[in-house]
Structure 1
């Protein structure tokens, strides 16, 4: 059992339980003036842009000006508004998407032009978007502990512009729908997530609560690393406090302060996230999965999984199998 896990390694461990299930891309050419409102999406969004800056307002927060080359992450796909100027009233994104969508959402890349007349010299913003679907159940995904909007500035982090350009090239390539485009998009997005979250943490911009803040706390980070690296071990608050070299009471109080949840609740979420990933990857032996995530009893595991997912393991497996069959039939 290793205890020398760094913050970056821990981010990798966390994201290892959040592998992208499927992905889609979009490119929007927007001519000022323009303003669009999204009611939110299932999964997460990663966006980069070229051309003119634009404003984004996520989930009712203060508007943020986005410069070309910045990377925007909406970890929970929160409702948001994007626009060329702050005073513009937004139109719904959904109507434009429906007009330009072929098949079900996610089956094909989406492109459209919108906004002013777009004549010679018009102020254009090109938005390149990655939409990632990840297992999320009743808000218990690890992504739910992130702020609704994360912006990685090209002017502040040297590698951001290179990653943004790579993302733009990826989106453009997917427009031809070459074989495997969704898989390539999903895997690149996993790498982008690691980079964005690591850079966000190192910039000191991480919010006061959530696992990014926990990773930044050396004592709590040690406990988090062990929960993610060894979820099958019989952890308790006492044993986790020893890993963090703190008393039980200090550890418990500090964990809740940093993470916004208790150590055992966090551990349960980690275990269930790993279990759901195994189910998604085709593991149908519930007893084996229960053992892998630290449950001696299949019955106890099934009760815990149902509390977390709102479904028993067998119901969850049946639903995922049916969903995969439908996608194969449509494809």
Structure 2
């Protein structure tokens, strides 16, 4: 499944060097970094040092890496002792997030490839402190419920990072994340996402928002960057893509969405994702 990751520099400073970029980012103590789209990278004390594969670090630490079959067993402590006379003492809290294909793709497309939040701009330090202390306290004993609790704490940090991205988006940018900043648009979007299979009309969404239909349509298009009904179509197709990935029959999904023939559904799906639903499922399954 698609992955995003976040890093919080807890102690010391280090460099983040993405393989696909031509520049490195220096992280000071307390800084945070969110990578909405997974990309190969190295974490180092100097941008010119040779990288050590994380699998090797994990082996030295006596820890397994992420096990996709056990999504709540992902709390790990990895220790790496560089081959240097006086290696820097650096501690990093790292988190990986997985979500349904279509929804995470839609979220990632609204965000920068790398989001760097300096320590001075982190407004949820107390939450990070709680998570760090929780991991330090429970990683050895692994008491009942520690994995589930850690999972929820990581989700809370992700939510705070997303809120920071929305707050720092340049004036005039569009995207569905922008809609969350408008109470009226947010109300309509929330209702739509709660019932993606419903055949929403423009009047119904306007009623939920509390705005008149023309006002709602204009405001939605200006803030989100697409018309309300175009957004409805995208959300419904996201739901369909998710169902298909779960193993649902394509014809059954087409029927559920109200298409009279699978061909009509296939045409809409190709317009949204570029490939037919069957091919899309095969490609995503192979990439997981």
Normalising to structure 2: TM-score of the pair? 0.66
> Aligned-pair RMSD on alpha carbons?
4.7
Matching residue of 2:131: 166
2:11 is matched with 51
In the alignment, the residues of structure 1 paired with residue 230 and residue 136 of structure 2 have an alpha-carbon distance, to the nearest angstrom, of: 38
- CA shift digits 1:266-299 (9 cap, x unpaired): 333322333344455x56365665566x435462
Please show how residues 112-151 of structure 1 align to structure 2 within 5 Å: 112-113=79-80, 115=82, 117=84, 119=86, 122-136=87-101, 140-151=105-116
Offset at residue 242 of structure 1 (A): 6.4
| Contact map agreement 1:132 1:186 (CA 8 A) in 2 | no
1:99 has 2:56 as partner: yes
> Displacement, 1:166?
0.7
Contact 1:57 1:80 in 2 (8 A): yes
Instruction: Say whether the 8 Å CA contact 1:128–1:168 is kept in structure 2.
Output: no
Q: Following TM superposition, by how much is the alpha carbon of 1:45 offset from its aligned partner in structure 2, in angstroms?
A: 0.3
Return the offset for 1:193. Answer: 2.1
Q: Is the 8 A contact 2:11 2:92 kept in 1?
A: no
Shift of 1:44: 0.2
Question: Would the aligned equivalents of 1:72 and 1:152 in 2 still touch at CA under 8 Å?
Answer: yes
**Structure 2: distance between partners of 1:101 and 1:259:** 43
- Cα pair 1:49 1:68 within 8 Å, conserved: yes
Counterpart position of 1:210: 175
8 Å Cα contact 1:210/1:260 also seen in 2:
yes
| Alignment CA distance shift 1:319-1:83 (3 Å) | closer
Secondary structure of the structure 2 residue equivalent to 1:113: coil
Contact 2:37 2:113 in 1 (8 A): yes
Distance 1:188 1:237, change over 3 A: same
Distance 1:175 1:277 in 2: 37
d(CA) in 2 for partners of 1:223, 1:61: 41
Q: Specify the SS of the correspondent of 2:112.
A: coil
State the secondary structure of the residue aligned to 2:37.
coil
Residue 216 (structure 1) shift: 1.5
Alpha-carbon distance between aligned partners in 2 of 1:170 and 1:186, rounded to the nearest angstrom: 11
User: Is 1:295 aligned with 2:258?
Assistant: yes
User: Which of 60, 69, 76 is the aligned partner of 2:37?
Assistant: 76
Q: What does the per-residue CA deviation read over 1:141-166, in whole Å, with 9 as the maximum and x for residues that have no partner?
A: 32321222334555445533433541
Superposition deviation, residue 221 in structure 1: 2.9
Q: Secondary structure at the match of 1:304?
A: helix
Q: Report the counterpart of residue 304 of structure 1 in structure 2.
A: 268
- The alignment status of 1:229 with 2:188, answered yes or no, reads no
**How many matched pairs?**
272
Asked if the contact 1:142/1:269 (under 8 Å) is kept, the reply is no
| Runs of 5+ unmatched residues, structure 1 | 1-20, 22-41, 325-331
Distance 2:144 2:287 in 1: 21
Q: CA 1:215–1:158 in 2, change beyond 3 Å: closer, same or farther?
A: closer
SS of the counterpart of 2:48? Answer: coil
Residue 315 to residue 65, structure 1, CA distance change in 2 (3 Å): closer
Please state whether the residue corresponding to 1:124 is helix, strand or coil. Answer: coil
* 2:78 corresponds to which of 86, 111, 128: 111
Q: Which runs of 5+ in 2 are unaligned?
A: 68-73
